[in-house]
Amino acid sequence: MGVVVEETPNPNARKFTTDSRIFPGDGSVSVMPGQTSDFPIMNALMELEGVDNVFGFQNFITVNKKSDADWDQLTPKVEAAVKEAGY
């Protein structure tokens, strides 16, 4: 399956779903600007230029971009980071 990218009702957010579980348990993980996470994938995504914040649950991560960022440039970078992390 790899990484499946889905648009959301929010034009500044996209959902990236994998076929493997990223986050254990039933809790969600979110990282806002200036924060870090115990999950390296979340920190790697926050370091990408244009990413505003990230939210993750089980096998997906929703990336919220800054309003001036372009999905055509950002999406391949997010996909690469997720794959590089082993998901």
Q: How confident is the model at residue 48 (pLDDT cuts 50, 70, 90)?
A: very high
Task: Confirm whether pTM is higher than 0.85.
Answer: yes
**Structural domains of the chain ordered from first start:** 3-68 (3.30.1370.70)
- For residue 1, pLDDT over 80 is answered with no
pLDDT in tens, 63-72: 999 999 999 9
Q: Which of 77, 4, 5, 72 is nearest to 41 (CA)?
A: 77
Q: How confident is the model at residue 2 (pLDDT cuts 50, 70, 90)?
A: confident
pLDDT in tens, 9-47: 999 999 999 999 999 999 999 999 999 999 999 999 999
